[in-house]
């Protein structure tokens, strides 16, 4: 054994198999540490009183370390040559720090001078000199195969080390603004884990902007279809909110016929190649019923065939302390045990808790006209649309938005609004499949509203834009979806000019109630009462309606922010299901 030139203190080398050590500290059992047979003298430059570890790590797992290095240094005197005198070590500076003193790639060499050395890989491993207080980062970052400890620990210090938990490594696919990641990180933190994202994939420029604001040190990768699975670093959990528009009730529901729907198979491709311990998937509730359940069955079969125990459940965000009615399906997979998604504790909060006060209100023509007819407080909880009736609904004709009309015309519109939804017009008159809101001919209308001036009233309402004169629409099937097109063979009739996005304001939120499901296309139409006026939701309020903390950065224009929020996840629900997954993986 080599001896330093200076006086040296003798130590025993303690060797620990990492896998056994890891299993032991997770089970709360102090491992048995057996010293090696031989003593070794301290090496020149090593502080005899410091706790120093030599971690042995496969080179393939330390690629990122080497990649960050700027230079190799000849450091033979710094490293205890305990294996063979015919070896040489190279020191690689580790830029990120975290307590690593030195990193060595140990190579076997032939005799000769430095320039004549012929390196030969030493069992494809690296040595890292580590201070004891940074043992946790050593476990988390490098997953060493075994440790050689250059200081005998006391029972107390070993027990304290046993409390260290490994880092949860994950990928965030179709990341959006990072909601699934945030929920997972919050769950891991509460359970004592640290987290490390090894890959984030997102293609939407505005979403990437927000991701970079919150994770400035990380690279954001683009199109997932172009990312090779075998090039992704190993990870424990896959997170993916794969595109929902292909399955959403708000979209055309083309499913796998929509290229966005086929992106699920990129998730499956990565799961197959990397086979992490678990995954968290989120999508719209319409995924379950799409194509009579066939789409969802394919997804479940695919995940089961990959060897995962899969559980799923539709959860409503209003039960998780977020004042929004938002039902989404959560699909959780574990390689060992099925994750229970039952019996989550229910926490209900109302819209009032997320609202700011004293902000600037809208001065638009629409809002001014609305407030000229209705006092602000009377608008609380009201919806403004011409598609439905009910006491909580305001119609365009109630506020004469499109022009002045008579009391009789208002009566006619209210009657037509409900009559047009009856099945008899489709089955007994047009002989077509029923649709919710049939155009009705003058003769049909006379059956429930017979006024001598009916035709003139109808013409005037068409002229002012309250009604449209159109053909009924027949139902046709295209692939797995259906749509309606006008049928010129049927007589034209009068129909309400309706649509969810008809007006500048679609709903005034009730502070004592819940917000509806917020979607990108109409989030800007939701308003709240502020003082004596109406205004749109702020981005801060929008973030709160999805469970994001106020300090989550979202420095984008309001319209872009609405679009991003309407497509994001509800963080507290993700946190709840992620907690269940992590607890299951701990068992």
Which are the catalytic amino acids? 244
Of the candidates 271, 294, 291, 293, the residue with the CA atom closest to the CA atom of residue 281: 271
Task: In whole angstroms, give the CA distance from residue 441 to residue 446.
Answer: 9
**CB crowding 454-476: b at 16 or more within 10 Å, else e:** eeebbebbeebebbeeebbbbee
Task: In whole angstroms, give the CA distance from residue 64 to residue 126.
Answer: 13
Of the candidates 361, 320, 379, 350, the residue with the CA atom closest to the CA atom of residue 573: 320
What lies within 8 Å, CB to CB, of 567 at 6+ separation is 176, 244, 520
The string of DSSP codes covering 527-539 is: EEEETTEEEEPPH
Task: In whole angstroms, give the CA distance from residue 378 to residue 374.
Answer: 6
Cα dihedral 161, 165, 166, 172 in deg (nearest 10): -160
The residue length of the chain stands at: 587
Of the candidates 403, 384, 400, the residue with the CA atom closest to the CA atom of residue 527: 384
Of the candidates 465, 461, 466, 468, the residue with the CA atom closest to the CA atom of residue 492: 468
**CB crowding 529-555: b at 16 or more within 10 Å, else e:** bbeebbbbbbbbbbbbbbbbeeebebe
Q: Token pair for residue 403?
A: 């022009």
Radius of gyration (Cα) for the chain, nearest Å?
33
């990565």: which residue's tokens?
A: 270
């Amino acid at each position: 054994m080599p001896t330093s030139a200076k006086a040296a203190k003798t130590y025993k080398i303690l060797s620990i198999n990492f896998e056994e050590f890891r299993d032991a500290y997770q089970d709360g059992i102090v491992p048995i540490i057996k010293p090696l047979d031989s003593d070794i003298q301290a090496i020149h430059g090593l502080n005899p009183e410091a706790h120093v570890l030599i971690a042995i790590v496969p080179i393939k797992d330390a690629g990122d370390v080497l990649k960050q290095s700027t230079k190799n240094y000849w450091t033979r005197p710094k490293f205890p040559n305990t294996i063979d005198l015919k070896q040489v070590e190279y020191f690689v500076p580790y830029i990120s720090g975290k307590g690593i003193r030195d990193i060595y790639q140990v190579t076997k060499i032939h005799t000769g001078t430095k320039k004549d050395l012929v390196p030969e890989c030493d069992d494809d491993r690296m040595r890292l000199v580590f201070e004891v207080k940074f043992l946790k980062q050593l476990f988390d970052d490098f997953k060493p195969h075994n440790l050689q400890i250059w200081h005998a620990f006391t029972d107390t210090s070993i027990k304290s080390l046993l409390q260290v938990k490994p880092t949860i490594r994950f990928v965030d696919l179709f990341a959006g603004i990072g909601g699934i990641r945030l929920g997972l990180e919050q769950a891991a933190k509460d359970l004592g884990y640290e987290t490390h994202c090894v890959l984030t994939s997102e293609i939407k420029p505005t979403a990437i902007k927000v991701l970079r604001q919150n994770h400035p040190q990380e690279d954001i990768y683009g199109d997932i279809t172009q990312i090779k699975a075998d090039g992704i670093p190993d990870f424990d959990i896959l997170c993916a909110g794969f595109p929902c528009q292909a399955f959403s009730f708000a979209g055309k529901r083309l499913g796998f016929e929509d290229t966005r729907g086929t992106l699920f198979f990129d998730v499956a491709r990565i799961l197959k190649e990397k086979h992490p311990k678990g995954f968290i998937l989120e999508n719209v509730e319409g995924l379950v019923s799409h194509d009579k359940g066939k789409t969802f069955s394919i997804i479940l079969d695919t995940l089961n065939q990959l060897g995962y125990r899969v559980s799923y459940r539709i959860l409503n965000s209003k039960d998780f302390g977020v004042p929004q009615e938002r039902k989404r399906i959560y699909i959780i997979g574990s390689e060992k045990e099925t994750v229970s998604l039952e019996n989550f504790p229910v926490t209900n909060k109302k819209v009032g808790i997320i609202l700011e006060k004293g902000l600037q209100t809208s001065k638009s023509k629409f809002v001014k006209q609305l407030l000229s007819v209705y006092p602000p407080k009377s608008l609380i909880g009201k919806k403004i649309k011409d598609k439905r009736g009910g006491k909580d609904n305001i119609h365009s004709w109630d506020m004469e938005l499109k022009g002045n009309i008579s009391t009789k015309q208002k009566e006619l519109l209210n009657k037509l609004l409900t009559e047009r939804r009856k099945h008899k017009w489709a089955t007994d008159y047009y002989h077509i499949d029923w649709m919710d809101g049939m155009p009705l001919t003058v003769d049909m209308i006379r059956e429930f509203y017979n006024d001598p001036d009916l035709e003139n009233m109808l013409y005037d309402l068409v002229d002012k834009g309250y009604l449209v004169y159109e053909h009924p629409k027949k139902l046709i099937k295209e692939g797995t979806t259906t749509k309606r097109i006008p049928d010129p063979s049927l007589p034209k009739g009068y129909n309400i000019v309706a649509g969810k996005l008809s007006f500048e304001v679609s709903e005034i939120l009730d502070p004592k109630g819940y917000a509806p499901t917020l979607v990108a296309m109409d989030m800007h139409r939701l308003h709240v009462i502020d003082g004596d006026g109406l205004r749109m939701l702020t981005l801060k309020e929008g973030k709160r309606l999805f469970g994001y903390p106020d300090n989550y950065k979202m420095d984008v224009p309001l319209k872009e922010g609405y679009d991003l929020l309407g497509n994001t996840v509800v963080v507290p629900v993700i946190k709840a299901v992620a907690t269940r997954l992590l607890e299951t993986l701990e068992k």
